[in-house]
Amino acid sequence: MYKVCVDTGGTFTDCVVLDDQGRKEEFKSPSTPEDFSIGVVNSISDAASAFSLTDEQFLDQTELIIHGTTAATNAVVTKNVAKTALIGTKGFRDVIEIRRSSKIETHSMYEAFIPPYEPLVPRYLRFGVNEKTKSSGEITKGINEDEILEIIEQLKKEQIEAVAVCFINSFANPENEKTVATILEKHLDNVFVSCSSEILPKIGEYERTSTCVINASLGPVIKKYLTRLETKLKNQGFQGQLLVMQANQYAQSVSAVIRKPAYLVGSGPAAAPAGSAYLGKFIGEENIVTADMGGTTLDSGMLSRGGVILKSGMWLNDDRLGIKVVEVSSIGAGGGSIAWFDSLGLLRIGPKSAGAEPGPVCYGRGGTEPTVTDAAVILGYVPDDYFWGGKYKLDKEGARNSIKKIADKLGLGVEETAQAIFTTVSSTMADGITEITTRRGHDVRDFSLLVCGGAGAMCGAFMGGLLNTKNIIVPKFAASFCAWSMFCMDVGRDYIRTYFSNLDEADEDEINRLYQEMIDEALAEFSVLNVSRENLSLVKSVDLRYSGQFHEIELTLPSSDISKQDLINLKDDFHRKHNDLFTFSLPNVDIETRNLRLIATVKSDVSDLPEIEKTTGKAEAYEKRRRQCFFEGKFMDTPIYDGPLLKAGTCIKGHAIIEEPTTTVVIPPDFTCNVDQYGNYILNKEVQ
Amino acid sequence: MNNKVDPITLSTIWHFIQRVCREMRETAERTATNVLVVTLHDMAYGIWDSEGRAIAIPEGFPPRLISSAFPIRFAKKKFEGKIYPGDIFLTNSPRAGAVHLADWVFVRPIFYKDELMFWTCMGTHVADSGGAHPGTHFLADDNVAEGLNIPLLKIVEKGEWKEDLAELILENNRLPKMMRHEMSSFMGSTAIAEKRMIELLERYGREKVNASIDAMVERTESAVREEIGKWDEGTWYSEVYTDDDGKTMGAPVAVRCRLTIKNGEVTFDFSDTDPETSGNANAHYHQTLSNIMCTTFLFLGSDLAAFHNEGSMQPIHVITRKGTLVDCNPYALTAGSPAVVGSLTIEALLSVLSQALSHRAIAPYARLAAPILVGRDEKSPDGVYVFSSFSSVAGAGAVHGYDGYQCACDMGTLGVVGKSDSEDEMARFPWDILRCEFQTDSHGAGQWRSSPGIIWEAVNEGGDATNMGGPMSGFTTQAPGHQGGAPTQFNKVYKISEGEKTRVENPRLPIHFKTGDHFIISSGGGAAVGRPEQRDPEAVLRDVKNDLVSVQMAKNVYKVVIDPDNLEINQKETEFLRKRGNLS
């Protein structure tokens, strides 16, 4: 039987197939934005052909498909979503447009010439209802059904496809929202209804409303897409399980995702940290920074003490999504990033990228501006005769000419300039990584740097050297690590309940009651997968803050029932964590609880990592050739190794290059690379 | 040009320092309890070199960004020979470089291997600063009644709090528990800056870091000169009025500015501004300088936004006359200065710069109408609450090419401040918020219109409370639009008590509320750019559909005739009206 992972990106759809023996094959086909399911089916068809099977035969022998899709992100960013209305509390219909006036969260203070924000729901489709829920949860004005029926008439007239319902203070009592949702569902056919208290039951009407609107507006789009995909696969003989990857690093059933499609937004870059958690268990690393370097962006994420770091909320341009997602820092730096001079005459790399088309100059497809990949060709790191396993011949002369334009301005030679481009992009990426490490209070020196994506292995040692990470890990399948990572994903979802209390007065019975409510919700969502309470793994946590603060720190709770002692222990943990993050603690100030959080997961059935053949022999045996590569300001005669032939136990001293069919590992001087039993490359800087 | 450091190191060091500033802001925001810091971003912070030159001017509160150099230089001079690692200085005195008594500034020297290398500071508007009234006393007769004057003093020496001084200050504050927390938060953010700057020095060494900073200052100056060199030479003039002088209601005062662009440099001459008053509206020179720099940066383009430092200021000259509203004497009253004369200074600057650079015209934001409610609250640690909110404040004025950005509020902060969630405000304070949404026909009309005004209403569910209206403005005067665009619309304030609604004639004076009283603020939108009848009729129709513009306003102001039943444009009548307008 096969397990298949299909990762739909903006440009390409990656398909990875695992067979019963743990062997892996990768396939790539163009994405089809007009209907992404076509690209998914095409990529599966490619896989079937490669295994000399018909599509039907292949799908019949496939027990699991895990699908990562950019469909939700694309829909929100391009505003290609369902026609959506918003029903809110009378007097507050502009919550999503007024927002929190947080101009500097998405723009510079010195930017004046910015177009006005266009909310996903225009004002004429936002309706105010005469209801009142107090912040205590008391409802002082219930729903008048006639008022809702009048709104429904307008919704019908406007041919609305989705409705977001978000009332002020519904986090404290969702009753009025639920009443309205029931009336809407009774009177509107085929209209997706989303309540804010269901998608994000926490205080803060802006973030809750915005998230609810995003969820509602995606509802019909995602339902149509996933239903179509499921039907196509079934029609071709697929009888296994289709799971969809979410932005919180967990996979989920199609039926559950259709109710909460907002969980798909931003799911693309979430895969690598989840994969590193799985890989880390085999190689004994539980603190890992992942750096996924593609053509245009570097996405970095974190694994700390074996757990992937999540964050509460993200911006999608000017729209805010408040759900928990894998903490990913994205910066515009990749293999296709273009070198340029800013207004102060400083060399900058990215965020503009040559992308896949026309691509870097060396691709010979019309690119004219020098990129990181062009610099790598000049430096000898990327072979002009073995790109993509020798499928493409690169135009080294074109790369040289393009870099000369930069070199002339810098007053340096072409090679020195190529090295400056390389150093600058590595430095920019290292800075990007510190956004999620150093700035979050993590000492990056305690972490390994896992580099992946097509260009990650090329820059890994340079980034790791700048950051002083413990070592650098280049996974065996670095180029398709994200797709590979999806095989390792647990099925799961996170849940939240607001619980305001002074920590000293917190009631463990009430806390346990709220957790039971969340567990019941999880079991209901997981029912399609036949999951029982015994199969669920629980991670409980609580958001705490000093009395009066506006922001919280999340601390972990035991997964069992919460006891009084657990709450007492939290106090010391909170003071310590606050001091670690912000340089001070306030032992005499009261601590408040804000939210209770639960992550409920079901372990996925992942096979072991296959080991590769071992050797005690010297690395020289695998040297396939030598060429001149530019390191530390001069060309050096550099051994080139054939990656697929290398065996476990091989130790390669830098300077050296390892050529894999889909990527190139650069080992600079002073670095040593060891091949582990799974075929991963572990790079260490020699201590001087 | 400085060539002591390679361009790659230079770039890396520069971006590192910028990141340090962001981390400072984040630390303060994540740990403070003052709404002005956390959600409103009312902060000034950054990194200065050992001489007090601005190295990194991040985003923050314009009146304080550049002016933070003044307390730093003052500390250097006052404590010469007695400055040690781990010291922190505190002041709120305008005579020591603070903006007004409500602004507390914490200054920390950064040493590396026993050498003073940098200064950092974090300043913000605090919830209480002592004085005769809670919050801020806007009707004081002298600076002592206005608040506790904290001269520049050393509050922490070699890492140890000077408890006697801290106690003295906090004994004179109505929120001592909150303020002790706030002090830890602000000082913590300066500790982050110290830690990171030492990391930078350890990685690159003193020489490279200093050389990089010198090079950045030089490069920034030359880039700013190059940009200003593209501007047409000439002289432009502006005059803007505010409702009153901070004491005598109904007596408007004016800020006047003459801009001269010549030889790649600009000079702003404010000498003709009205004399300082006995009211709270006055601004010190350092505040005016800071506002001038930040406003000018808006016109230099977003390319340079991330780079501003001491070099940016070299081609920009400022002339003021001592004893005026924009350069007041040491003991003048300043409680309302950032919101009132600060905003007015920015309006005057926008006016002259928009005349000189018509394709970059920026119209003023709505004038400020926001609650500062003070009352007793037994649930809060100090028994008193100060509820400041920007929720009622309307958005940005239009710019050439775009309608005003929605609710990037308050001219005096250049839109840096944000709003809180009403739910959070209701959970914290004994006020139930009943509405907060856009109003029809409340914007400044123009080819590019402003963001709309807002209607905000809340009911008092606690005991007696008072609104301290000091920063309010825009009730009897308006900020001008550009190129034929309408000015800001008037703000209005109402109170409902025992079922009776009355309009508050002087919202700048304290307004008292009993349990059950309603407070209503109706804010007008910002100003516009271009004549309303030049607005695209389809854009007018969209606004009518969205209930931001009435059918009457569409016809009377925009000269677009729309059928109210089917919401379609009557092309013929619209053409007729617009043609007639052109002829007249």
H, E, C per residue of A302-322: EEECCEECEEEEEEECCEEEE
Q: What is the mean pLDDT of residues A516-543?
A: 88
Residues of B in contact with A171 (CB under 8 A): 423
Place of tokens 């020179």: B285
Tell me the average pLDDT across B405-416.
79
Q: In 3D, which of B308, B276, B252 has the Cα closest to residue B475?
A: B252
Q: Flag whether B334 is in a domain.
A: no
Residue A607's pLDDT is 63
Query: Do B433 and B541 share a domain, yes or no?
Result: no
Q: What's the pLDDT score for residue B303?
A: 76
For residue A99, give the nearest of B399, B407, B437 by CB distance.
Answer: B407
For residue B110, tell me if it sits in a domain.
Answer: yes
Q: Which two tokens stand for residue A469?
A: 């990470």
Torsional class of A547: left (φ above 0), alpha (ψ -120 to 50), beta (otherwise): beta
Residue contact A123–B177, C-beta within 8 A: no
pLDDT tens-place string over residues A294-322? 888 889 999 988 888 888 888 888 889 99
| B329 assigned to some structural domain | no
Residue B4 has pLDDT above 90, yes or no: no
Taking CA–CA distances from A586, the nearest residue in chain B reads B181
Residue A240 has pLDDT above 80, yes or no: yes
DSSP A245-264: E-TTS-EEEHHHHHH-GGGG
Verify that B505 and B545 share a domain, yes or no: no
The number of domains in chain B is 3
* Across A354-379, average pLDDT: 89
Amino acid making up residue B584: S
Domain boundary among B190, B224, B258: B224
> What is the overall mean pLDDT for chain B?
92
Q: Does B359 touch chain A (CB under 8 A)?
A: no
Six-digit token string for A162? 């989705």
Cβ within 8 Å, pair B451-A99: no
Indicate the residue among B224, B257, B280 that finishes a domain: B224
CA-based nearest residue in chain B for residue A410: B7
Q: Are residues B209 and B93 in the same domain?
A: yes
- In the prediction, which pLDDT does A356 show? 67
Task: Please report, for residues A451, A645, B102, the alpha-carbon distance to residue A649 in angstroms, rounded to integers and kept in the order given.
Answer: 20, 12, 66
Measured between alpha carbons, how far is B284 from B267 in angstroms, rounded to an integer? Answer: 18
Assess if residue B32 is contained within a domain: yes
Evaluate if residue A248 carries a pLDDT over 50.
yes
Closest-CA distance of chain A to residue B421, Å: 5
pLDDT(A389) > 80: no
* B438 in the same domain as B368: yes
B583 or A334, which is more confident: A334
From chain B, pick out residues whose CB is under 8 angstroms from the CB of A117.
405-406
pLDDT of residue B1: 44
In a domain, B33, yes or no: yes
Which of B191, B424, B383 has the alpha carbon at shortest distance from A551? B424
Q: Over 60: is that where the pLDDT of B2 sits?
A: no
CB A262 within 8 A of CB A211: yes
Mutant choice from B110, B406, B439, B545 vs A, greatest count of A C-beta within 10 A: B406
pLDDT at residue B3 above 60? Answer: no
Give the chain A residue nearest B461 (alpha carbons).
A134
Q: How confident is the model at residue A662 (pLDDT cuts 50, 70, 90)?
A: confident
Query: What pLDDT digit, counting tens, does each position of A442-487 carry?
Result: 778 889 999 998 889 999 999 998 888 999 999 988 888 888 888 8
Average pLDDT value for residue range B186-211: 93
| Domain, as residue range, for B473 | 361-533
Most confident among A80-84, A583-587, B29-33 (mean pLDDT): A80-84
* Residue A343, pLDDT above cutoff 90: no
Same domain, B400 and B528: yes
| Domains defined for chain A, CATH in brackets | 2-75+224-264 (3.30.420.40), 81-211 (3.40.50), 281-333+429-486 (3.30.420.40), 337-425 (no CATH), 497-602 (no CATH), 619-685 (no CATH)
Within-domain flag for B356: no
> Is residue B519 located within the same domain as residue B570?
no
Cβ atoms B405, B451 nearer than 8 A: yes
Based on the fold, state whether residues B567 and B440 are members of the same structural domain. Answer: no
B507 assigned to some structural domain: yes
Question: Model-level pTM?
Answer: 0.90
Question: Which of B224, B242, B260 is the last residue before a domain boundary?
Answer: B224
For residue A300, report the phi and psi dihedrals to the nearest 5 degrees.
-115, 140
Same domain? B478 vs B576: no
The DSSP secondary structure of A279-295, one letter per residue, reads: HHHHHT---EEEEEE-S
ipTM of this predicted structure: 0.92
Task: Indicate if B565 and B500 belong to the same structural domain.
Answer: no
* Residue in A with minimal Cα distance to B405: A116
Q: Which of B393, B399, B434 lies closest to A112 in CB terms? A: B399
Q: What band does A108 get if pLDDT is binned at 50, 70 and 90?
A: confident
- Of A545, A372, A578, the residue nearest A455 (C-alpha): A372
- What is the rounded radius of gyration, in angstroms, for the C-alpha atoms of chain B? 24
B414 and B426 part of one domain: yes
B583 touches chain A (CB under 8 A): no
Q: Does a structural domain hold residue B85?
A: yes
Task: Tell me the nearest-neighbour CA distance from A89 into chain B, angstroms.
Answer: 9
- Same domain for B143 and B176: yes
pLDDT > 70: percent of chain B: 98
Flag the least confident range among A80-84, A108-112, A113-117, B568-572.
A108-112
Q: Tell which residue, B278, B285, B276, B280, has the closest CA to residue B325.
A: B276
Chain A residues with CB under 8 Å of B404 CB are: 116
- Residues B541 and B444 occupy one common structural domain: no
Query: Which ranges in A527-611 belong to alpha helices (H)?
Result: 564-582
Whether the per-residue pLDDT at B154 is higher than 70: the answer is: yes
Between residues A215 and A606, which one has the greater pLDDT?
A: A215
What would the pLDDT profile of B134-152 be if each residue is shown by its tens digit?
877 788 889 999 999 999 9
Residues of A in contact with B298 (CB under 8 A): 110, 112
pLDDT at B135: 76
